[in-house]
């Protein structure tokens, strides 16, 4: 009897040891599938009482791939993304917004290339099998090791590894936001399917320029102060004809936090300092040295407050 108990305990220990490894392997399949597979499908985004449906077509190629996203609810919008740029077509106003693409990830390409860093700040485990969009779906749960980030649930097609569902949840497991494919077709996609549907001749083109910046040299002391969040971008964006805003972006591989520094001079909108939120996005605003500091994060409120309260300014010598 004692031998049987020991064998059962050993088997349980081996299962627990294998689970994180198997879960990490499944995450790697998801990451590779979203980059290497071509597909077209319809997904819904849920946040509180808000629902938004979009159709996405992805062409995988050696240049990094092309996405065409059509928002099917509300005002018509079409977004074409390449590895280097994002073009947003607004047909009702005849405007095309153009900006350089940064490291920002969007559904279903949510996972970083280096998945090992996630294990440092999330407990990764298998999350059972379910069905999404008529397909068998294998789940992975990422439970945060601290209160500075949200939990994440991913579910991938059992055959291809394609990410079909992504959920952000709070410490109690309640949904904050969720992306779910309603229908998806995985396979060959023609290049004509990712071309914009609008010729956009005569439309106004609005380019969002972002140039490398050094806010520390300008006197700003900004740091993430969050374990695992590293700086991935530091730029200065044109805000108005005569103004600009500095931006520093930090990420732990899944969640991202941006710090914006904008001069108060020239602002026409009233300043509303304090904390606000939009789904999984928390926003903390405060005034520092006649500037508006705004921290926007895909993190709990504690995290954006912690970063915002540490931002200081000292006149450079």
Residue 59 exposure: Cα atoms within 13 Å on the Cβ side: 15
User: Measured on CA atoms in the order 111, 279, 247, 316, is the torsion positive or negative?
Assistant: negative
Give the pLDDT of residue 184: 98
C-alpha 171/C-alpha 190 separation (Å) is: 43
pTM of the full structure: 0.88
C-alpha 54/C-alpha 72 separation (Å) is: 5
Residue whose C-alpha is closest to residue 160's, from 31, 317, 9, 41: 31
Give the pLDDT of residue 239: 67
Does residue 13 carry a pLDDT above 80? no
Does residue 8 carry a pLDDT above 50? no
- Per-residue model confidence as pLDDT tens digits over 162-216: 999 999 999 999 999 999 999 999 999 999 999 999 988 999 999 887 888 999 9
Distance set, CA 5 to CA 2, 13, 16, 176 (Å): 5, 12, 17, 42
Distance set, CA 249 to CA 116, 157, 197, 252, 274 (Å): 21, 32, 32, 11, 20
C-alpha 216/C-alpha 101 separation (Å) is: 24
Give the pLDDT of residue 7: 37
Residue 283, sorted as left (phi over 0), alpha (psi -120 to 50) or beta, turns out to be: beta
Every domain of the chain with CATH number 3.30.200.100 lies at 209-313
Residue 266: pLDDT band with limits 50, 70, 90: confident
92 and 75 in contact (C-beta within 8 Å)? yes
139 and 128 in contact (C-beta within 8 Å)? yes
Give the rounded percent of residues in the chain with a pLDDT score beyond 70: 92
Give the pLDDT of residue 301: 95
Does residue 4 carry a pLDDT above 60? no
209-313 topology per CATH? Phosphorylase Kinase; domain 1 (3.30.200)
Residue whose C-alpha is closest to residue 308's, from 226, 198, 187: 226
Q: What is the mean pLDDT of residues 47-57?
A: 93
Give the pLDDT of residue 77: 95
17-194 topology per CATH? outer membrane lipoprotein receptor (LolB), chain A (2.50.20)
Every domain of the chain with CATH number 2.50.20.10 lies at 17-194
C-alpha 161/C-alpha 27 separation (Å) is: 8
- Per-residue model confidence as pLDDT tens digits over 129-154: 999 999 999 999 999 999 999 999 99
Give the pLDDT of residue 11: 41
- Give the Cβ contact number of residue 196 at 10 Å: 13
In sequence order, which residues have a C-beta less than 8 Å from that of residue 206 and are 6 or more positions away?
95, 96, 97, 98
Give the rounded percent of residues in the chain with a pLDDT score beyond 90: 73
Please give the mean pLDDT across all residues of the chain.
89
> Would you mind telling me the total number of residues written for the chain in this entry?
317
Give the pLDDT of residue 103: 65
Residue 293: pLDDT band with limits 50, 70, 90: very high
DSSP state of 270: P
Residue whose C-alpha is closest to residue 261's, from 313, 226, 297, 303: 313
């Amino acid at each position: 009897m004692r031998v049987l108990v020991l064998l059962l305990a050993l088997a349980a220990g081996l299962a627990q040891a294998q689970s994180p490894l198997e879960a990490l392997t499944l995450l790697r399949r998801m990451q590779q599938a979203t980059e290497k597979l071509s597909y077209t499908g319809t997904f819904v985004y849920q946040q509180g009482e808000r629902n938004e449906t979009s159709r996405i077509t992805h062409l995988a190629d050696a240049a990094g791939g092309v996405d065409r996203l059509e928002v099917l609810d509300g005002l018509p919008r079409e977004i074409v993304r390449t590895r280097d740029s994002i073009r947003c077509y607004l047909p009702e106003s005849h405007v095309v917004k153009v900006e350089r693409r940064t490291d920002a990830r969007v559904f279903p390409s949510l996972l970083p290339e280096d998945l090992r860093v996630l294990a440092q700040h999330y407990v990764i485990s298998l999350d059972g099998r379910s069905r999404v969009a008529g397909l068998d779906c294998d789940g992975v749960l990422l439970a945060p090791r601290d209160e500075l980030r949200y939990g994440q649930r991913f579910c991938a097609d059992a055959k291809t590894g394609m990410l079909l569902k992504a959920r952000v949840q709070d410490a109690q497991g309640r949904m904050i936001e969720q992306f779910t494919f309603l229908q998806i077709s995985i396979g060959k996609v023609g290049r004509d399917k990712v071309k914009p549907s609008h010729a956009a001749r005569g439309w106004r083109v609005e380019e969002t320029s972002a140039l490398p910046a050094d806010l520390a040299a300008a006197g700003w002391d900004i740091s993430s102060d969050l374990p695992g969040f590293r700086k991935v971008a530091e730029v200065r964006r044109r805000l108005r004809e005569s103004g600009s805003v500095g931006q520093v972006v930090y990420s732990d591989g899944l969640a991202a936090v941006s710090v914006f520094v904008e001069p108060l001079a020239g602002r026409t909108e009233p300043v509303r300092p304090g904390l606000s939120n939009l789904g999984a996005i928390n926003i903390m605003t405060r005034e520092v040295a006649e500037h508006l500091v705004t921290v926007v994060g895909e993190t709990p409120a504690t995290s954006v407050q912690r970063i915002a309260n540490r931002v200081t300014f000292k006149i450079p010598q």
